[in-house]
Amino acid sequence: MNRLVFVYGTLKRGEPNHRFLEASKGIARYVGTAVLREAYPLVIASKYNIPFLLNKSGEGHRIRGEVYDVDGKTMESLDELEGYPDLYTREEKEVEMADRSVALAWVYILRNHDEKLLATATVPLDEYRSMGDHGRPYVDGEDCGTYEDLFR
């Protein structure tokens, strides 16, 4: 059974990790652009300049991103990439598609964060672009499987 996933960071088209969706051994079909119905803080933080969606519903902005229809194999690959369930939690959230229809999609949200992360964070953004005005391009960090690895 396929499911929808909302991506807001490096997995979007034109971003550094989009290749993981393209190279998936399963199905990853682009559905369209969307915004989260609830506001969340999206920050860029850590020595890797990773975009994190913080677990603070009602704060921040309605985040803009993309929705993909994925199968179980692709979801497993995304879970591994995102460090689920240790680093991120995965929750179903309402997203508003470009045509104003509403869908439920899985969203990866940082499980925990502390002052160490916030000390490295940008101001909350409404949309992520690695080469955005924030001046913090993504740094590939394949060795960051745990929260502690983000600061070593």
Question: Rounded distance, CA 78 to CA 100, Å?
Answer: 26
pLDDT for residue 66 is more than 80:
yes
Clarify whether 127 is annotated catalytic. Answer: no
| Closest to 17 (Cα-Cα) out of 145, 146, 141 | 141
Average the pLDDT over 57-70 and give the result. 98
pLDDT for residue 142 is more than 80:
no
pLDDT for residue 89 is more than 60:
yes
* DSSP for residue 125: B
Q: How high is the pLDDT of residue 42?
A: 98
Average the pLDDT over 45-60 and give the result. 95
> 3-129 has which fold?
Hypothetical upf0131 protein ytfp (3.10.490)
* pTM for the predicted model, two decimal places: 0.93
Average the pLDDT over 6-31 and give the result. 93
Q: How high is the pLDDT of residue 22?
A: 84
Where are the chain's structural domains?
3-129
Annotated catalytic residue, options 66, 76, 82, 148: 82
Sequence-ordered list of residues with C-beta below 8 angstroms from that of 84, at least 6 positions apart, any chain? 78, 90, 108
pLDDT for residue 152 is more than 60:
no
Question: Rounded distance, CA 122 to CA 99, Å?
Answer: 31
- Percent of the chain past pLDDT 70, that is, above it, reads 94
DSSP β-bridge partners for residue 123: none
Residue 145: pLDDT band with limits 50, 70, 90 = low
Average pLDDT over all residues of the chain: 93
Average the pLDDT over 116-135 and give the result. 94
